[in-house]
């Protein structure tokens, strides 16, 4: 399920590539919000203390696919097929379709207390952008991580607040040569490196009509500290001194003789 909003705009960038000072025009054809295809649990996802220190940023991953005679058909990275499979994979990965929140009312809060960041699993969706460019893939040279290359992923305005932007941004760009790039922007609170590639691999399988091999594990409370702390073992400092313990005199002594050769 996705809502469409058609925006025709051009973004012009000049950069040093194989062809010096060439002008790249990227024409955004469609921006839509893709939501899970089924109803998902509506809840707040607790984030660990490790997540609380993350900056508000989207990490980018870009894949390039060259066209060949074997894939010269109308279904080569068809946007409708990609959006349909994306809505399916968002069902098990439903927190990715949510938004970040910082609750104002937090139990135990007080002066100097900073509210914890959480994920509101509200199914508001992920941003899916389709674009066209006059460039060919070879214009990007050796694909060095330059600011120009990052233009193949959507941008985010963080000034509007943490609940205003999607946690996943996707841009499919169609090149003049027939190739395609898919740029991902993952908000780091929702996924780390391994889970990022787990999501991409799962989306790829569903797009190809296959089943997911591993479902995501969403419970982060495994990293939650106890309040108050409760150790699972009794420290030796708290052992009962009256307990029968072995005396050092009862410890057998093993003598080792070293003979000179």
Q: How do residues 128-161 score in pLDDT, each as one tens digit?
A: 999 999 899 988 888 887 777 888 999 999 999 9
Q: How confident is the model at residue 125 (pLDDT cuts 50, 70, 90)?
A: very high
Q: How confident is the model at residue 224 (pLDDT cuts 50, 70, 90)?
A: confident
Can you tell me the distance from the alpha carbon of 240 to that of 257, in angstroms, rounded to the nearest whole number?
39
Tell me what pLDDT residue 141 has.
81
If you ran DSSP here, which 8-state letter would residue 225 be given? P
Mean pLDDT of the chain: 81
Q: How confident is the model at residue 81 (pLDDT cuts 50, 70, 90)?
A: very high
Tell me what pLDDT residue 244 has.
52
Domains of the chain: 2-222 (3.30.559.10)
Tell me what pLDDT residue 69 has.
63
pLDDT digits 0-9 by tens, 25-72: 889 999 999 999 999 999 999 998 888 887 888 999 999 999 876 655
Q: Give the β-pairing of 99-101 and 118-121.
A: antiparallel
Residue 7 has pLDDT above 80, yes or no: no
| 129 against 220, higher pLDDT | 129
Tell me what pLDDT residue 46 has.
92
Tell me what pLDDT residue 234 has.
72
| 102 against 181, higher pLDDT | 181
Query: Can you tell me whether residue 107 is helix, strand or coil?
Result: coil
Tell me what pLDDT residue 142 has.
82
DSSP 115-159: PPPEEEE----EEEEEEEES--GGGGTT----TTGGGGS----GG
Can you tell me the distance from the alpha carbon of 73 to that of 77, in angstroms, rounded to the nearest whole number?
9
Can you tell me the distance from the alpha carbon of 135 to that of 176, in angstroms, rounded to the nearest whole number?
6
Most confident option among 9-18, 74-83, 97-106, 115-124: 115-124
Q: How confident is the model at residue 17 (pLDDT cuts 50, 70, 90)?
A: very low
Tell me what pLDDT residue 18 has.
47
Residue 6 has pLDDT above 70, yes or no: no
What pTM, to 2 d.p., does this model score? 0.76
**Residues 48, 192: contact at Cβ < 8 Å?**
no
Going through the chain in order, the beta strands assigned E by DSSP cover 2-5, 9-15, 22-34, 43-45, 58-65, 99-101, 118-121, 126-133, 168-174, 180-187
Q: How confident is the model at residue 19 (pLDDT cuts 50, 70, 90)?
A: very low
Tell me what pLDDT residue 187 has.
94
């Amino acid at each position: 399920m996705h809502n469409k909003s058609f925006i025709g705009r051009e973004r012009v960038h000049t950069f040093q590539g194989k062809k010096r000072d060439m002008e790249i025009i990227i024409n955004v054809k469609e921006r839509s919000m893709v939501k899970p295809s089924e109803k998902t649990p509506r809840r707040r996802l607790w984030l660990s203390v490790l997540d609380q220190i993350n900056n508000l940023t989207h990490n980018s991953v870009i894949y390039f696919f060259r066209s060949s005679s074997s894939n010269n058909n109308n279904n080569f990275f068809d946007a409708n097929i990609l959006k349909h499979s994306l809505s399916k994979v968002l069902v098990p990965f439903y927190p990715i379709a949510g938004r970040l929140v910082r609750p104002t009312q937090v139990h135990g809060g007080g002066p100097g207390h900073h509210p914890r960041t959480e994920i509101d699993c509200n199914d508001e969706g992920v941003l899916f952008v389709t674009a066209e460019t006059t460039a060919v893939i070879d214009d990007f040279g050796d694909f060095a991580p330059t600011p120009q290359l990052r233009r193949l992923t959507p941008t985010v305005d963080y000034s509007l607040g943490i609940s205003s932007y999607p946690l996943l941004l996707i841009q499919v760009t169609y090149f003049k040569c027939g190739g395609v790039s898919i740029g991902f922007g993952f908000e780091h609170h929702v996924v780390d490196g391994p889970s990022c590639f787990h999501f991409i691999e799962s989306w790829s399988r569903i797009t190809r009509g296959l089943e997911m091999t591993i479902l995501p594990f969403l419970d982060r409370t495994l990293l939650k500290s106890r309040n108050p702390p409760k150790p699972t073992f009794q420290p030796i400092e708290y052992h009962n001194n009256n307990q029968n313990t072995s005396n050092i005199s009862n410890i057998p002594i093993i003598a080792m003789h070293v003979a000179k050769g």
